[in-house]
């Protein structure tokens, strides 16, 4: 089901994936140069999941994100300058430097926040879904989470409640094969995480998370189902993070060969090739698009670097409303 993937939307999707990749490559560089305080969790290699899922949403719909959330935030339409400023801890950042990489939220844009607690967003997503149902608002809440979150108790509590009340929620699991170092093959008794949907009498679907078209198709069906009052869906998007869990990761739990194999399935290379083959985009146009993205990222860094640091005197201002 690809009802509305117009050439224009497909080109835009490719560009968003390029933005995510370029943002995170720059984030990594800034970190290496010692310009960033703290850690970060990069989603390089997972861009089709973030963009394909959000592509199925309307602007007024909500997402909840994870610690590996740069891609979700950009996909939902965040401003790169304000994101980069947040990453660098500046006052002009989305969270005025209080949240950082792991807590970026773009509330006005419908991103209700990245989350440092694995599975922390799932119970909140159910609450957003209930809120929409109580207010009779036709909005959907899509919550991203990783394979690790599917083994938290909150996952089960959330799926159950969303199912019994038929809430307009999409549970979107980015299965990137590892919960930090714990392999999915060692952490689940089943082949597919999506099989767990059956326990809650929900549709469960596993898709190739590196195939934008497949992700979009699954998400669009789930969103339509949620919006029409038929309740939630569990989507498992199979993907892979090229980088380590965070900066402390020495990749002791996986082989270089495995990483190389997954890099052969690069979602951006795949989408670019398909769009060119389908006549949606020319190669020169794609190259120009990437060049433009790199200019945007450079501008975002310049904006962030020129932005003021937060004032310690104002530290306690936003603890209470």
Footprint on this chain of other proteins (rule: CB under 8 A): 62, 93-99, 103, 105, 107-108, 112-113, 115-117, 120, 122-132, 134-135, 141, 153-154, 157-158, 160-161, 164, 316-321
CB of 70 to other proteins, least distance (A): 16
> Minimal distance in Å, beta carbon 246 to other proteins?
18
Q: Rounded to the nearest whole angstrom, what is the least distance from the CB of residue 112 to other proteins in the complex?
A: 6
DSSP 73-128: HHHTT--HHHHHHHHTT-TTSTTTTSS-GGG--BGGGTB----SSTTTHHHHHHHH
Alpha-carbon span 83 to 95, nearest angstrom: 9
Least distance CB 126 / other proteins (angstroms)? 6
User: CB neighbours (10 Å) of residue 121?
Assistant: 26
Which C-beta is closer to other proteins: that of 158 or that of 202? 158
* Shortest Cβ 117–other proteins spacing (Å): 5
Backbone angles phi, psi at 320, to 5 degrees: -120, 145
CA distance 49 to 44: 11
Q: CB of residue 98 vs other proteins: minimum separation in angstroms?
A: 5
Closer CB to other proteins, 77 or 123, in the complex: 123
Distance CA 82, CA 220 (A): 29
- Tokens linked to 72: 């979700």
Burial level of 147, CB count in 10 A (0-12/13-18/19+)? buried
Nearer to other proteins, 106 or 236 (CB): 106
Comparing CB distances to other proteins, the nearer of 284 and 319 is: 319
CB of 146 to other proteins, least distance (A): 16
- Nearer residue to other proteins within complex by CB, 123 or 177: 123
Residue closer to other proteins, measured from CB, 160 or 251: 160
Q: How far, in Å, CA of 5 to CA of 213, rounded? A: 9
3-state secondary structure (DSSP) of residue 192: coil
> What is d(CA 126, CA 160) in angstroms, rounded to the nearest whole number?
10
Give the nearer residue to other proteins in terms of CB position, either 75 or 161: 161
- Which residues touch 118 (CB under 8 Å, ≥6 apart)? 66, 67, 145, 146, 148, 149, 152, 179
């Amino acid at each position: 089901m690809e009802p509305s993937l117009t050439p224009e939307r497909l080109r835009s999707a490719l560009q968003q994936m390029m933005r995510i990749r370029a943002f995170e490559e720059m984030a990594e560089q800034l970190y290496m140069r010692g310009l960033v305080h703290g850690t970060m969790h990069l989603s390089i290699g997972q861009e089709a999941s973030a963009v394909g899922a959000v592509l199925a949403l309307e602007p007024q719909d909500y997402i909840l994100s994870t610690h590996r959330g740069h891609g979700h935030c950009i996909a939902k339409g965040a401003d790169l300058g304000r994101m980069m400023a947040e990453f660098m801890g500046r006052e002009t950042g989305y969270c005025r430097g209080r949240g950082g990489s792991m807590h970026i939220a773009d509330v006005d844009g419908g991103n209700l926040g990245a989350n440092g607690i694995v599975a922390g967003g799932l119970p909140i997503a159910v609450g957003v879904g209930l809120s929409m149902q109580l207010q009779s608002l036709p909005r959907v809440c899509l919550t991203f989470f990783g394979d690790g979150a599917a083994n938290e108790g909150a996952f089960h509590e959330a799926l159950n409640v969303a199912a019994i009340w038929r809430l307009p929620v999409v549970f979107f699991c980015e299965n990137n094969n590892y919960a930090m170092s714990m392999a999915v093959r060692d952490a689940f008794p089943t082949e597919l995480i999506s099989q767990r949907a059956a326990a809650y009498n929900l549709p469960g679907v596993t898709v190739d998370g590196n195939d934008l078209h497949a992700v979009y198709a699954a998400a669009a069906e789930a969103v339509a189902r949620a919006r029409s009052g038929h309740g939630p869906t569990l989507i498992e998007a199979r993907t892979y993070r090229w980088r380590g869990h965070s900066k402390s990761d020495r990749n002791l739990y996986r082989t270089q060969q495995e990483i190389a194999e997954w890099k052969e399935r690069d979602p951006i290379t795949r989408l670019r090739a398909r769009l060119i083959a389908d006549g949606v985009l020319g190669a020169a146009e794609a190259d120009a698009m990437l060049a433009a993205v790199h200019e945007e990222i450079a501008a975002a860094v310049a904006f962030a670097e020129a932005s003021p640091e937060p004032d310690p005197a104002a530290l306690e201002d936003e603890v209470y409303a």
